Amino acid sequence: QVTLKESGPALVKPTQTLTLTCTFSGFSLTTSGMRVSWIRQPPGKALEWLARIDWDDDKFYNTSLKTRLTISKDISKNQVVLTMTNMDPVDTATYYCARNRWGHWFDPWGQGTLVTVSS
């Protein structure tokens, strides 16, 4: 059974850097074809894709946020880490990680973690 779970701070201050961790089980990011994405959803708003990391360490970013995002993986811990710099109140959202299937769809998703940006 594949599961993913997000963790990180619930509250960050403006201008701070956010670090989120996705801990997964049921698959390995050393296996050819495996990928993990981060997606966020501001309260009451639509989903927005942020970044993806592949088994071969290829990385892809939302072009609008690319300068602020870094995605990485820790194979030994089965974790994917997302950092976002210079946080702003508009970045307040529920952040999800999801396994990225080969046909470019997301399944399953983690439960999400709500991050509020406020001073």
Partner 1 sequence: QSALTQPASVSGSPGQSITISCTGTSSDVGGYNYVSWYQQHPGKAPKVMIFEVSNRPSGVSNRFSGSKSGNTASLTISGLQAEDEADYYCSSYTSSSSYVFGTGTKVTVL
Instruction: Say if CB 111 and CB 5 are below 8 A apart.
Output: yes
Nearer to partner 1 by C-beta: 32 or 45? 45
CB contact set of 22 (below 8 Å; sequence gap of 6+): 4, 5, 6, 7, 36, 38, 79, 80, 81, 82, 97, 110
By CB under 8 A, what part of segment 71-100 binds partner 1? 96
Choose, by CB under 8 A, the member of 15, 25, 64, 86 that binds partner 1. 64
Q: How far is the CB of 119 from partner 1 (least distance, A)?
A: 27
Residue 46's beta-bridge partner residues? none
**Hunting for tokens 């999800």 — which residue is that?**
96
Chain positions 37 to 56 lying near partner 1, rule: CB under 8 A, are 37, 39, 45-49, 52
CA distance between the termini of the chain: 40
Q: Least CB distance from residue 26 to partner 1, whole Å? A: 15
Our finding on whether 113 is near partner 1 (CB under 8 A) is no
In the complex, what is the shortest distance from the CB of residue 16 to partner 1, in angstroms, rounded to a whole number?
26
Q: Residues 1, 10, 90, 103: which binds partner 1 (CB under 8 A)?
A: 103
